[in-house]
Amino acid sequence: IQPGQQSLFDNEHTVYETVKVGEADGVLRTSTDEHGKNVYTLSWEHRGITHTVMGNIPYDEIMKIAKGIR
């Protein structure tokens, strides 16, 4: 988050799910932004590096991006 930007994260209404990213187990968090759109945060570890992909784009796109990170 840059100066002047704001981030709203509703942890109370966030849904957590375990998903596969390649061979790694990941955690997908689904919440909604201030406009009611889904925001996905996907985190996983691979070869000692923790990766996180976050955005209010469709679920399929988040998974495509994650699977493209090597």
Element (H, E) at 67: helix 59-68
The Cα–Cα gap between 55 and 57 comes to: 5
Q: How far apart are CA 3 and CA 21, in angstroms?
A: 32
**1 — pLDDT class (breaks 50, 70, 90):** very low
Query: The whole model's pTM is what?
Result: 0.76
Cβ pair 25, 70 in contact under 8 A: no
Residues 16-36 have pLDDT tens digits of 999 999 999 999 999 887 788
Domain boundaries, the chain: 14-68
pLDDT 10s digits, 40-61: 999 999 989 999 999 888 999 9
